[in-house]
Structures are given as C-alpha cells and as structure tokens.
Amino acid sequence: MDRGKLIVFEGLDGSGKTTHLINLRRRMVSLGIRCVEAREPSDSPVGLIARSAGKGKISLENETMALLYAADRIEHIVKDLLPALEKGITVLCDRYYHSNFAYQSDAPYSEPPCSGSARESTPLARVLNYNEVAMGLLRPDMTVFLDVPPEECMKRLSEDRAETEKYENLEKLKSVRENFLRNFEAMGDRERIVVIDASGSEANIFEKIWMKVMGFYF
C-alpha cells in the first residue's frame, strides 16, 4: 500500500485556506481518493490550550505559545497524521510548522543552528529548534500557500467575524506575510511549496490548486 500524502494549506487569516481545503476534500472524495481533514492547533490537550491563547481567551507569552504549537504538532503527527498516512489516506492539514515560523518570529528561515551558536537567541532560531523533532518526523509532500494582500484579508475578517483574534491586525498580517514568503524562498528545494495568487474568484483559485495537486493521483 502506498503511503498517503500530507498536503498543507497555509495563508494569512482570511486568505480562504480553510474554504479551499474543504473544496479539495470534496473533489478528492468525488474521485474516490481517500482523504481526511486536519488542523493545527489540533484537538490534543496541548492544542486546545494553544487555540484558546490564539483566540485571546487566555494570556500567554509569545515564547510559550511557540512552544505549545510545537508540542501540539508532535502529538498531532504521532497520534493522528502518521497513522492516517500509513493507511494510504491523504491528509489535508489547515496550518503546519510554516505558520509557527511566520507567526512566532520576525526573521527568515535558516537551518536550525548548532548548539552554542549566537543565532540560538533569535526568535526564528528558537522556533526552529522547537520544531526540529516535528520536521524530522514528518514534512509535507506539498504546502499550498494562498497569497492574499493583508488589506483584503482584514476586509474579509471584518465582514465575517464579530471580533478578531490575537494576530488579526493589519501590521501583524503584513509582517507575517513577509515572513512566510522570505522563509519559503530561503528553504529553496527542501520542500515542495506552491504559492498561489488567491485574490481572484473562488472557482478560479480552486482550479489552480487542483492543477498542482492532481499530479499526485493521476
């Protein structure tokens, strides 16, 4: 039995990643491809705490949140993602460690520093170190980044939600988008990352996604 694929959706809040993940699941199911949805933070005890903090329901230091996201990821990989993949099931995951890098740091991607390196004190270096176990356990087969201008994301969020979450302000979204794109560029060919202009119609955006994904199956 072939192992399933891990396809990760990344993007700013309001970019439409959850919508297109659901659209992709529906398309795949209609074609007889076994797949499941997942999200991070997950529903593990650690993930529930991280989700509450992200929504501003509890107050935690940024460093603590970075650690929580990384710890939840290990639980998620071992208990949910790997078992599904080993059964030949494709997993469509809403956020993964790229979000951790982009939201909990303000520096571009670099390989985890060696012990004693001066870079260990930078925000990104620490987040990378926290995720070293997860990156060793499971890297995505593809990461789909839906690129939408932060201003458009804020407009969508203001229309769809009564209140915004911890990271949902324009300046933060601008910084996070820059982090995502710089990190993707610096990672080079270490991972298969697809950046899609997601500012058009839902139907056109989805077909762009499907054209990138379908090669795994046909």
The per-residue pLDDT for 122 is 73
- Cα–Cα distance between 210 and 91 in angstroms, integer? 15
Share of the chain above pLDDT 90, in %: 70
- End-to-end CA, the chain: 17
Contact call for residues 7 and 140 (beta carbons, < 8 A): yes
pLDDT digits (tens, 9 = 90+) for 52-82: 998 889 998 888 899 999 999 999 999 999 9
Dihedral sign of CA atoms 128, 132, 138, 141 in order: positive
Alpha helices (H) along the chain:
17-30, 45-54, 62-76, 82-86, 97-103, 123-130, 132-137, 150-160, 170-187, 202-213
The per-residue pLDDT for 186 is 83
Better-scored residue on pLDDT, 119 or 154: 154
Better-scored residue on pLDDT, 189 or 155: 155
The per-residue pLDDT for 61 is 87
The per-residue pLDDT for 123 is 76
* DSSP 8-state class, residue 196: E
* Domains with residue ranges and CATH for the chain: 6-216 (3.40.50.300)
Contact call for residues 50 and 72 (beta carbons, < 8 A): yes
Using the CB atoms, write b or e for 157-172: b if 16+ within 10 Å: beeeeeeeebbbeeee
Q: In this structure, what are the phi and psi dihedrals at residue 195, rounded to the nearest 5 degrees?
A: -100, 125
Q: In this structure, what are the phi and psi dihedrals at residue 6, rounded to the nearest 5 degrees?
A: -105, 110
pTM: 0.90
Is residue 44 pLDDT above 60, yes or no?
yes
The per-residue pLDDT for 55 is 86
Candidate ranges 78-82, 107-111, 184-188, 214-218; pick with highest mean pLDDT: 78-82
Q: How confident is the model at residue 107 (pLDDT cuts 50, 70, 90)?
A: very low
Q: How confident is the model at residue 115 (pLDDT cuts 50, 70, 90)?
A: very low
CB atoms within 10 A of CB 38: 19
The per-residue pLDDT for 63 is 85
- Cα–Cα distance between 182 and 57 in angstroms, integer? 31
- Cα–Cα distance between 137 and 158 in angstroms, integer? 37
The per-residue pLDDT for 128 is 85
Residue closest to 89 by CA, chosen among 134, 41, 25: 25
